[in-house]
Structure 1
Amino acid sequence: MLAFLAFLLFNLLNFGVVSSVNEEGVALLSFKNSITLDPEGTLSNWNTSDETPCSWNGITCNEQRVVSLSIPKKKLSGFLSSSLGSLSELRHVNLRSNRLFGGLPSDLFKAEGLQSLVLYGNSFSGVLPFEVGNLDYLITLDLSENFFNGSLPSSLVKCKRLRNLGLRQNNFIGSLPSEFGKNLVLLEKLDLSHNSFSGSIPGDLGYLSNLQGTVDLSYNKFNGSIPASLGNLPEKVYIDLTYNNLRGPIPQNGALVNRGPTAFIGNPGLCGPPLKNLCSSDSEANPPSSFPNLPSNYPPGKNGGGGRGLTKASIVAIIVGDVVGICVIGLLFSYCYSKICRCGKGKDESGYGFEKGRKRSKECLCFRKDESETLSENVEHCDLVPLDEHVAFDLDELLKASAFVLGKSGIGIVYKVVLEDGVILAVRRLGEGGSQRFKEFQTEVEAIGKLRHPNVVTLRAYYWSVDEKLLIYDFVPNGNLAAAIHGKPGLVAFTPLSWCVRLKIMKGVAKGLVYLHECSPKKYVHGDLKPSNVLLGHEMEPKISDFGLGRLANIAGGSPTLQSNRMVYEKPQRGQQSSSASDVATFASKASFGSYYQAPEVMKAVKPSQKWDIYSYGMILLEMITGKTPLIQVGMSEMDLVHWMQLCIEEKRPVSDVLDPNLAQDADKEEEMIAVLKIAMACASSSPEKRPSMRHVLDALERLPAPSEC
């Protein structure tokens, strides 16, 4: 009886604890219970007492809904719980390189928004459920290096957004589903190697015009002839058909031409070029010979009659002479190349070198100085370039990571990217095409990468190719200052900032500007400072972003706004930037408000001035103190925030009319607010000469009492 009561009490306590977790947390805890071994303690912080699972290891949320489960290479042992299918917003599952076993539950595919399912390197078995066809948004399916068996379900061809399909090293059998190529036309990667697929190779694979790299059908049991339609694949694609049961002549068209014999070995029934065994019809028309066929009367005799042909010794001598000549030419070319091209050893005065990524082979890209403007033609396949010794990821990891769009603007799209090891980055894509001034871009971006300050967003790496330019930054998690002051569009409720936090942000932004103006390698002008370009970190510490972004976008061929182009130095030197994942969906970043943060003289001045940033900073202070937008409705007319403040001062309105009503709880700090208000009005003076320097502004703010724990 006592044992029963103890058991009942234990279960009641457990129920009470679990009930504190939302439904998605309960589903993930069910997955945790299916894990029998967790040697690295990866799931140790999956606590039943948390309200949501969003802080758990391997979990990524968007608006408090689970969108990603990523726990690779953690030696987890157990099976895959069907409860994951109840996560309605689940987009990415990455459990690669663990020790998971069992089959895939059909209920997993109830998460119909799933975009990537990466399970390779485990011990899963059984068939691929028919329900996989429910995943209309599936982009990546990688089940490689497991023990799956059975035929591929015919429903797989319903996943028409599929781009990456990896089934290597399993036990799949049977033919490929009907209309495989016609439906999956977006496929970019296809690896079916090391299985037991049989039947003929579908002719409709020729429709896969987006394929890249290697199409690997090797080590299977495909039979019949090679369809000529495979020649319709992109010519850069390598088609690996080794070790199957294919027969007949190898088609000589498109992507199948000049592939060499290594793509076809292990198929004894294949014949024709590039293999040595000729097809029977060819053998009759072209009998094997070590020498070219020459007519018996070639060359004609001097007397015009049918003289003797060249002797075998003569032909051998000609061939040997040709071989020796080719070798000599090759040695000369090698000697000239070694003299001209010494890349990989850094730059020298005669040219430049470009070293490709750390995990790729080094490729020497040589050109003369007068050709440097066309460098991008030589670096089309440039790898990720780290700007920090602590960068531990490469391009492949970045491209395979889970990505979520944070916002779009005229200067590209910003993504939140979650790497497999849980590191979160912000990636700005600057777009495709346009001006190809790589050296200029490289100079700008590497100078930006040297900026290191707690209140300036850090640029960690960049990527350049002819078709793609990426900037990779630290991710800053708490959105931007505009959203913190006014809330996000569409969300009625938000938590106002206390005076303590506001003062902390004001001081942090001032410190960041002092660094840019005085302490950085060059004296910079931001030129586009506004609340949407001030990001907020874990502890609400401010970080200035989007510094010089317009300059880089212009070099990369983007279409920056007018004000973004002004992100340059105060001295006539090259401009720079720093950027990150600002939440561009806030109304304060709209073009209609952007100009109100700019100093009045900006449109007239030719040379940029740090006084521009000081005016913008003053506007930000006014917005934080009053809680108002840069443009205010006054009766039937509109007035900018600076003129509205001047009007309030002239009319001697009470302070309560000016301050943000959300600051009423900090009424005891009114004197500090008035002091900051005076600083703001000095910064926002219409006369640049009357504005203080950022150093003086910071000194004045530092004299205010230090904010207590916020």
Structure 2
Amino acid sequence: MEMLPFLLLLLCNYLSPVTALNAEGSVLLTLKQSITDPEGSMSNWNYSDENPCSWNGVTCKEHSIVSISIPKRKLSGFLPPALGSLSQLRHVNFRNNKLSGKLPPELFEAQGLQSLVLYGNSFSGPLPKEIGKLRYLQTLDLSQNFFNGSLPSTIVQCKRLKTLVLSQNNFSGPLPDPFGTDLYSLQKLDLSYNYFNGSVPSDIGNLSSLQGTVDLSHNHFSGSIPPTLGNLPEKVYIDLTFNNLSGSIPQNGALMNRGPTAFIGNPGLCGPPLKNPCSSETPGASANSPSSFPFMPENNPPSDNDFGRSENTKGLSKSAIIGIVVGDIVGICLLGLLFSYCYSRVCGLNQDSDETSFDKGGKGRKKECLCFRKDESETLSENVEQYDLVPLDSQVAFDLDELLKASAFVLGKSGIGIVYKVVLEDGLTLAVRRLGEGGSQRFKEFQTEVEAIGRLRHPNIVTLRAYYWSVDEKLLIYDYIPNGNLASAIHGKAGLVAFTPLSWSIRLKIMKGIAKGLVYLHEFSPKKYVHGDLKPSNILLGHSMEPHISDFGLGRLANIAGGSPTLQSNRVAAEKPHERQKSLSASEVAANVLGTGYQAPEALKVVKPSQKWDVYSYGVILLEMITGRLAIVQVGNTEMDLVQWIQFCIEEKKPLSDVLDPYLPEDADKEEEIIAVLKIAMACVHSSPEKRPTMRHVLDALDRLSISSD
């Protein structure tokens, strides 16, 4: 009898692993069985646990699963229907994996779902009509998959939807009605690179909460552009490129003052800002509506071949054909005369010149002589309407024609123009910034400044490869840096449910890279430059998370180019103090410069920028990377800058854990290293410029730190 309790105990222990896991855990194990997991992301998903709340990628609230997030782990397989039985599920994030198959309709039985992020997989098939059950859905990102079929009409029942991103799929058909009326909460809309057709819904103009870019590009939308799109917020950029739209471009509200890059690839469109004027028969066209915007080549309207589309167009009338032929003959004659003039004026009989340029009016081939040489810059400044792309690097092998015909995507907007990601036909990716549209008298000043910046070469500074100047358009062409900016890497990106936090070793690598770039600017650049506007948003991250300092000298270039940047703090050492005093009042400086949290306190005095300004900004960036907090910290009902907050924490003798970024505890063994960097940061943000170290001393300290930790 004494053996009975022991046997019962053994029996209980034997049975417990089988019966312990709750129902929700069993559902997740069906997911695990449906997926191949090469990196072991689900290695701790086991029957032996009482519930799944401690499993990798799983978040619970009151012992119920509310989130499943396993991004970028090379998962393959499919999503099982059983996931829909998780009644409290709010967030699903499997972005950037290799999952495939169709979305099971049963998934949408989890009617409390607020975000479904599946971009960067291989899902296919239609989007189930059951999507309409998700009345609390706020984020739907299915981009970069193979979904097809039409967008179900039930999606308009998701009235709380704020982010709808369906780009780079095979969706087709018209948008459901009433798309813009019912989805009134939308803040982000990206339908690019699909096969949507029909007209652009006029009620999209009702979406007053939209922000950033409304991207309808690379589809088959047809008909005219609804004038109601002009009702969107003026800061919204509307991308309608590469569709089948026709008629005149409405000139109202958010549609006004847009460059042609918002409309190219629609051969049927006419009127400003495109070069092809509308005929009197075009609906909504004015009698004379020529555009002075030179971004597209004159006498060279986009063709089907230019944009990779094969369109079924109606035959042209005889009068239209005659007009085209006459126009071509006149254009060819003018080009011939211009070429003859340039050849006789500049090249003479010298056939051995090794200089090259690109013929904007022709096919972008290299020529053996230049109409405008560098030593004839006065001639160029008087003839800036010739629209030449000026390379600043011998490796530049593209011309303006190739640039204009490339695929373009809006990366961002600021007070200093719009930045595009441009992919050339050969795959080369560039970043192109549009500056102001005014100003024609300061070319020589612009040329001097931009060519000085173009000579800067350092692995931690973004390289300026070329520029373009005309009376109405100025472009800067840079290397494209693929991994976003440091601000997003520290704090995450708006609209994303989750992000991968930076480890301490990566943060230290970024800190050192920024320091190296600043040392080069301060000590080895020809003019010993000052950046003047250093902050995480203009530190870009490369393939291996190496930092690249960007936007150097941008404010001055925009000012010369005739733009009106909202923040002209990109000052260089050559700028005179009295020029700043004329352009900004002390109160404006305080609001625009010091208000960012990155500028040195002495900037309020509007003195000549010094390298110690960059040291202070760098110190704030170090503090931001250590604490994970923004440069302006909310404390109760008041705000203070990050430097003041750190000083407050030191005075209050707060523990280090209260100061560190919450994502850093896993690197607790680096505590001494973190404290050492914190001390370097505090030295950089000293209130007295004279007591701040030079960037050379900062870099030496970081190098010694790395050596001692090895």
TM-score (norm 1): 0.56
What is the number of equivalent residue pairs in this alignment? 483
CA 1:651 to 1:164, structure 2 compared with 1: closer, same or farther past 3 Å? closer
Partner of 1:619: 620
Give the distance between the partners of 1:216 and 1:592, measured in 2 at CA: 43
Contact 1:413 1:430 in 2 (8 A): yes
Residue 653 of structure 1 and its aligned partner are, at CA, apart by 2.4
Alignment of 1:573-652 (within 5 A): 591=592, 595-604=596-605, 606-652=607-653
| 1:470 equivalent in alignment to 2:475 | yes
Partner of 2:701: 700
Partner of 1:545: 550
Partner of 2:684: 683
Residue 28 of structure 1 and its aligned partner are, at CA, apart by 12
Contact 1:67 1:92 in 2 (8 A): no
Give the distance between the partners of 1:110 and 1:470, measured in 2 at CA: 34
| 1:518 equivalent in alignment to 2:523 | yes
CA 1:63 to 1:544, structure 2 compared with 1: closer, same or farther past 3 Å? farther
Where does structure 2 lack aligned partners over 5 or more consecutive residues?
Answer: 1-33, 37-74, 81-93, 103-118, 124-139, 147-168, 176-189, 201-214, 227-238, 251-261, 292-297, 304-313, 335-339, 581-590
SS of residue paired to 2:667: helix
Give the distance between the partners of 1:108 and 1:165, measured in 2 at CA: 15
Which amino acid in 2 is paired with 1:655? L
Alignment of 1:243-642 (within 5 A): 359=365, 364=371, 372=378, 375-434=380-439, 436-491=441-496, 493-561=498-566, 563-569=568-574, 591=592, 595-604=596-605, 606-642=607-643
| More relative contact order, 1 or 2 (CA 8 Å, 6+ apart) | 1
Give the distance between the partners of 1:692 and 1:479, measured in 2 at CA: 29
Which amino acid in 1 is paired with 2:393? D
SS of residue paired to 2:323: strand
Residue 500 of structure 1 and its aligned partner are, at CA, apart by 1.3
Give the distance between the partners of 2:358 and 2:302, measured in 1 at CA: 29
Partner of 1:654: 655
Partner of 1:115: 217
Residue 262 of structure 1 and its aligned partner are, at CA, apart by 9.8
SS of residue paired to 2:706: coil
Residue 682 of structure 1 and its aligned partner are, at CA, apart by 0.6
Partner of 1:52: 121
Which amino acid in 2 is paired with 1:359? R
Give the distance between the partners of 1:556 and 1:436, measured in 2 at CA: 9
Give the distance between the partners of 2:440 and 2:302, measured in 1 at CA: 37
SS of residue paired to 1:686: coil
CA 1:397 to 1:659, structure 2 compared with 1: closer, same or farther past 3 Å? same
| 1:65 equivalent in alignment to 2:143 | yes
Give the distance between the partners of 1:392 and 1:603, measured in 2 at CA: 45
Among candidates 212, 215, 239, match of residue 323 of structure 2 = 239
Map Cα deviations across residues 315-364 of structure 1 (whole Å, 9 max, x no partner): xxxxxxxxxxxxxxxxxxx99x97x8669989xxxxxx998666376664
Among candidates 91, 99, 107, match of residue 192 of structure 2 = 91
CA 1:259 to 1:663, structure 2 compared with 1: closer, same or farther past 3 Å? closer
CA 1:698 to 1:569, structure 2 compared with 1: closer, same or farther past 3 Å? farther
Contact 2:415 2:565 in 1 (8 A): yes
Which amino acid in 1 is paired with 2:324? D
CA 1:571 to 1:539, structure 2 compared with 1: closer, same or farther past 3 Å? farther
Give the distance between the partners of 2:332 and 2:412, measured in 1 at CA: 49
Give the distance between the partners of 1:424 and 1:140, measured in 2 at CA: 19
SS of residue paired to 2:673: helix
SS of residue paired to 1:472: strand
Give the distance between the partners of 2:299 and 2:561, measured in 1 at CA: 27
Among candidates 289, 299, 303, match of residue 213 of structure 1 = 299
CA 1:64 to 1:650, structure 2 compared with 1: closer, same or farther past 3 Å? same
Give the distance between the partners of 1:13 and 1:356, measured in 2 at CA: 55
Map Cα deviations across residues 119-140 of structure 1 (whole Å, 9 max, x no partner): xxxxxxxxxx9x9659988644
SS of residue paired to 1:391: coil
Mark the structure with the bigger radius of gyration.
Answer: 1
Map Cα deviations across residues 366-423 of structure 1 (whole Å, 9 max, x no partner): 9999x93x84440212221121222222111111112121211111111111222222
Residue 697 of structure 1 and its aligned partner are, at CA, apart by 0.6
Residue 693 of structure 1 and its aligned partner are, at CA, apart by 1.0
SS of residue paired to 2:604: coil
Residue 456 of structure 1 and its aligned partner are, at CA, apart by 0.7
Contact 1:529 1:613 in 2 (8 A): yes
Which amino acid in 1 is paired with 2:121? T
Residue 474 of structure 1 and its aligned partner are, at CA, apart by 1.2
Give the distance between the partners of 1:67 and 1:440, measured in 2 at CA: 48
Map Cα deviations across residues 429-459 of structure 1 (whole Å, 9 max, x no partner): 0020125311111111112111111111111
Give the distance between the partners of 1:156 and 1:625, measured in 2 at CA: 53
Which amino acid in 2 is paired with 1:624? M
Partner of 2:57: none
CA 1:159 to 1:688, structure 2 compared with 1: closer, same or farther past 3 Å? closer
Give the distance between the partners of 1:598 and 1:403, measured in 2 at CA: 33
Map Cα deviations across residues 35-87 of structure 1 (whole Å, 9 max, x no partner): xxxxxxxxxxxxxxx96269xxxxxxx9772499xxxxxxxxxxxxx956489
Residue 468 of structure 1 and its aligned partner are, at CA, apart by 0.5
Contact 1:109 1:135 in 2 (8 A): no
Which amino acid in 2 is paired with 1:115? S
CA 1:484 to 1:111, structure 2 compared with 1: closer, same or farther past 3 Å? farther
Where does structure 1 lack aligned partners over 5 or more consecutive residues?
Answer: 1-11, 31-49, 55-61, 69-81, 94-106, 118-128, 143-154, 167-179, 192-200, 231-237, 243-254, 264-333, 347-352, 576-589
Residue 666 of structure 1 and its aligned partner are, at CA, apart by 1.1
